[in-house]
């Protein structure tokens, strides 16, 4: 028996043809001896009509009481029906229940914590199916862009011996007789790889023991990172904007149906295809915020509220550059023209979403990097191998890290980052 995917049935060309399908019950109702069963699969939803005059009173009675998410298979004739939810239905001549579902626990109106406890069932819904498809295209488009531009994909470790982004957000793990940590970033290891491959990138999980619980923070997320020899900060910013532009373009081309299903206004996405993106120095950003009445002084980091206000000034992603060295990581190169600031950048998404990419030119001078490590209170012995990179053929180099879930959150128009990953991990949440 050949089974069609539901999306294949939603066209006038299929009207009048006998088909078979299988999936899960998404909704159902019984009216006047007929069961109207909306069946979903990974491609869509279609209404299946089960008439007791054809398939028996007992089946219709069973369908009246059956729980949502029961798995079924059905065969019948495709009919164009404007009153059906998707404009087409299948009038069944065969209908089988494969896996019963009783008292499905998601009925609507449940609270956030209850839904997170039942995450394994919640993410079956068409909403999440659309999100996962958009995420797939983001990942596929990213890999496609790197390959076309001559970058090499590499596989850095997840277990590390030292911090990359500050010791306060490390997750310690027992590594045989020693203590190790879950990786906060692949960056330091990517820097090693540029001395053989020049342009490298990776996609790995990263872990941050963030104490805050906000709409855009996760303790575990997917991190797309890149590093290149011979690239200064401006070179790397061009890489970032071209990569993001390509990803957005691919999503608009391939996932418009999913964006529409999520109710996404795509106007901001269309402008994101156009490059170059605006560039704003940190000094100017502070002035913009102060004019908006924000009590912020030079030297303060930009938090979510400040980033949200800044995004009101732009209709597309934009860069903020040249941050004070105190608010950025030790490996960022100091600006030779103003050593108070680093040659670093953040890419902020519009509509209040804020930072999706962070990057910089890396410090390539041994003595200056050593001094920055000491200033930040790190154990120099932990970074001996990293300092070695500046002793043996150091070069100008730059890199960045892109948070896949943050990018997805913006592209799909999601209200909370927990919806951008199947099983979100944050403070107080490790189940299921």
Q: Domain of residue 141: give its range.
A: 119-420
Query: How many other β-carbons are positioned within 10 Å of the β-carbon of residue 11?
Result: 12
Is there a domain that residue 431 lies in?
A: no
CATH number at 52 reads: 2.40.50.140
Does the reported pTM lie above 0.75?
A: yes
Is there a domain that residue 34 lies in?
A: yes
**Mean pLDDT in order along the chain per 10 residues (432 residues):** 96 98 97 97 98 98 96 98 97 98 94 98 97 98 98 98 86 96 97 98 96 90 98 98 98 98 96 98 98 97 97 97 97 98 98 98 98 95 96 98 98 98 95 97
Is there a domain that residue 114 lies in?
A: no
**Domain check: are 92 and 167 in the same one?**
no
Is there a domain that residue 238 lies in?
A: yes
What is the per-residue pLDDT for 168? 82
**Domain check: are 39 and 126 in the same one?**
no
**Domain check: are 158 and 192 in the same one?**
yes
pLDDT tens track for 269-316: 999 999 999 999 999 999 999 999 999 999 999 999 999 999 999 999
Last residue of a domain, one of 67, 99, 131: 99
pLDDT tens track for 351-410: 999 999 999 999 999 999 999 999 999 999 999 999 999 999 999 999 999 999 999 999
Is there a domain that residue 199 lies in?
A: yes
Is there a domain that residue 340 lies in?
A: yes
What is the per-residue pLDDT for 351? 97
- Look up residue 275 and give its two tokens: 């490059």
Is there a domain that residue 194 lies in?
A: yes
């Amino acid at each position: 028996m050949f089974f069609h995917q539901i999306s294949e049935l939603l066209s006038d060309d299929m009207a009048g043809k006998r088909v078979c399908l299988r999936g899960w019950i998404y909704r159902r109702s019984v009216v006047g001896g007929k069961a109207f069963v909306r069946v979903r699969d990974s491609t869509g939803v279609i209404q299946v009509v089960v008439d007791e005059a054809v398939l028996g009173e007992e089946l219709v009675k069973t369908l009246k009481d059956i729980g949502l998410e029961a798995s079924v298979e059905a065969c019948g004739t495709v009919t164009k029906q404007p009153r059906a939810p998707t404009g087409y239905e299948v009038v069944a001549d065969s209908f089988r229940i494969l896996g019963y579902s009783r008292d499905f626990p998601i009925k609507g109106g449940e609270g956030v914590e209850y839904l997170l406890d039942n995450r394994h069932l919640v993410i079956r819904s068409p909403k999440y199916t659309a999100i996962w498809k958009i995420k797939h295209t983001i990942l596929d488009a990213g890999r496609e862009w790197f390959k076309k531009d001559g970058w090499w994909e590499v596989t850095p470790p997840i277990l590390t011996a030292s911090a990359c982004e500050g010791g306060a957000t490390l997750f310690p793990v027992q590594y045989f007789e020693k203590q190790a940590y879950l990786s906060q970033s692949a960056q330091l290891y990517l820097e090693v790889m540029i001395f053989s491959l020049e342009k490298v990138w990776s996609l790995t999980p990263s872990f941050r023991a963030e104490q805050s619980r906000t709409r855009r923070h996760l303790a575990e997320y997917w991190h797309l990172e890149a590093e290149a020899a011979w690239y200064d900060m401006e070179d790397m910013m061009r890489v970032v904007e071209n990569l993001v532009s390509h990803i957005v373009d691919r999503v608009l081309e391939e996932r418009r149906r999913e964006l529409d299903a999520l109710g996404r206004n795509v106007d901001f996405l269309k402008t994101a295809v156009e490059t170059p993106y605006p560039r704003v120095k940190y000094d100017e950003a502070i002035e913009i915020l102060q004019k908006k009445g924000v009590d912020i002084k030079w030297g303060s980091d930009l938090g979510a509220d400040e980033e949200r206000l800044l995004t009101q000034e732009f209709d597309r992603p934009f860069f903020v550059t040249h941050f004070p060295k105190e608010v950025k990581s030790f490996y960022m190169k100091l600006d030779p023209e103003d050593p108070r600031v680093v040659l670093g950048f953040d890419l902020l998404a519009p509509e209040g979403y804020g930072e999706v990419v962070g990057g910089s030119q890396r410090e390539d001078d041994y003595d200056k990097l050593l001094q920055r490590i000491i200033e930040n209170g790190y154990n120099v012995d932990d970074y001996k191998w990293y300092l070695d990179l500046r002793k043996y053929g150091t070069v100008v180099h730059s890199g960045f890290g892109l948070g896949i879930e943050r990018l997805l959150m913006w592209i799909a128009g999601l209200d909370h980052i927990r919806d951008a990953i199947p099983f979100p991990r944050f403070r107080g949440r490790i189940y299921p």
